[in-house]
Amino acid sequence: MKFEVTILGSSSATPIYNRNPTSQALNINERLYLIDCGEGTQQQMLRFDVKGSRIDYIFISHLHGDHYLGLVGLLSSLHLNGRKKELGLFCPAPLKEIIDLQLKYSDTELQYELIYKFTDAQKAEVILDNSDCTVESIPLKHGIACTGFLFKEKKRLRKLIKEKLEDLKIPVEYFSALKKGADYTAPDGTVLKNETLTIDSDQPKSYAYCSDTMYDESYHQQIAGVTLLYHEATFLNNMLERANETNHTTALQAGEIALKTGAHKLLIGHFSARYKTLNELLDEARSVFPDTELAIEGKTFFIGELGEGVHSFL
């Protein structure tokens, strides 16, 4: 099952010569989820081969322009390209007014249905539940209403051990029941326990997207043990006062959050345009949490690793 995130933009507030405002494309089992949509997102999608037609859901964390100003253009392009499939939009309620106004004065009626789900920045809640994953909103502290998003894989069915089923000549019609945990009763009445024929599927993985926020421990329990934590790291810690004034986090604080929450891996982004290079930010976060990477545009991060086994599985 594919679970990976491609960085489309990693700059904060304003674009810089080699960085665009925030946007990410999350691929879960070949279903695309667009997370934030800053200015230039469409160009980045073209550059990194992220097809808009494959996006089923868009998540907007808050209404600072660097997180949504590319959205109306994207919605319009999907319309012009003939999209008919409905599109889910998870966002603060006032965004509907902004989109409606843009469409009104351009005399545009979208050819597809835009389905809104308004987020509540005051409480965590499940906002999406489909066959592949659940998505929870993460209330953040950023001056205006702002949420992050926690994506959790669904537990998969058990894996069949191919060679054992072949050796025992177990009929194909029993495979579905075995994957669901049933034992197998042979024609002579012998009962073969499920655990001798299958193994448990991989543990579900998770991805936490913590958009703009000042340091705040209120959401730490919700993201505890996450497989990959994306956290904003706008400033170096020598600018902590500025970070607090603007409701942002430093790279050092991002590392501390990953450590305290038991994250498996940390990805930092939302870098201030004042930093032409990012090595200092990376080094600062790694001084606390070594398994940290930069959200470099165009780079795809695979969330969790596949375990190695000695059998072939079905």
CA-based radius of gyration for the chain: 22
Give DSSP secondary structure letters for the chain.
Answer: --EEEEEEE-B-SS-BTTB-BSEEEEEETTEEEEEEE-TTHHHHHHHTT--GGGEEEEE----SGGGTTTHHHHHHHHHHTT--S-EEEEE-THHHHHHHHHHHHTT---SS-EEEEE--TTS--EEEE-SSEEEEEEE--SSS--EEEEEEEPPPPPEEBHHHHHHTT--GGGHHHHHTT--EE-TTSPEEPGGGTEEPPPPPPEEEEE-S--S-GGGTTTTTT-SEEEEE--B-GGGHHHHHHTT--BHHHHHHHHHHHT-SEEEEE-B-TT-SS-HHHHHHHHTT-SSEEE--TT-EEESS-PPP-SS-B-
118 to 53, 200, 258, 267, 268: CA distances (angstroms):
23, 37, 28, 27, 26
Active site residues per annotation: 66
Alpha-carbon distance of 200 to 305, in angstroms, equals 16
CA 116 to chain centre: 19
In contact, 266 and 291? CB cutoff 8 Å: yes
Residue found by looking up tokens 């003939």 in the block = 82
